[in-house]
Amino acid sequence: MAVPAVNITIEQGADFASTFTITNSDGSSYNLLNTSAVAKLKKFPESDTSFSFSTSITVSTGKITLSMSNSVTSTIPSGRYYYDILLTNSVSGLKTRVIEGMAFVSSSIS
């Protein structure tokens, strides 16, 4: 499965949420049964500093939601970042990256 690149914008100091529908190459829903998700934001892929997203999975629809509270987004310096979503199947142990992209954190004025 090719990893789609999806760019996002996070507003500094505001709550963030974005939902992704994960599909197979034939357009069918990706099997998310027995799967957990981890998603992180980093300035550079090799950076030691990261910001974690909260994740939720809806198995029946193949959707993964990433979120961050305003208390987290307010601590992220504005600028461009990298992020990805990594799935782990609890039965097989298989790890699969399903989304990657750039994230732009916009400055807060208020």
pLDDT at 3: 85
pLDDT in tens, 94-109: 999 999 999 999 998 8
Cα gap 69→61, rounded to integer Å? 24
pTM > 0.95: no
CA proximity to 105, closest of 45, 65, 48, 51: 51
Band of residue 1 on the pLDDT scale cut at 50, 70, 90: low
CB-based burial of residue 109 (10 Å sphere; 0-12 exposed, 13-18 middle, 19+ buried)?
exposed
pLDDT at 13: 95
What is the topology classification, in CATH, of domain 8-106?
A: Immunoglobulin-like (2.60.40)
pLDDT in tens, 15-57: 999 999 998 888 888 899 999 999 999 999 999 999 999 999 9
pLDDT at 94: 94
* Residue located via tokens 């939902």: 19
Q: How many CB atoms lie within 10 A of CB 36?
A: 12
Band of residue 110 on the pLDDT scale cut at 50, 70, 90: confident
pLDDT at 56: 97
Question: What value does the mean pLDDT of the chain take?
Answer: 94
Cα gap 16→53, rounded to integer Å? 9
pLDDT in tens, 71-91: 999 999 999 999 999 999 999
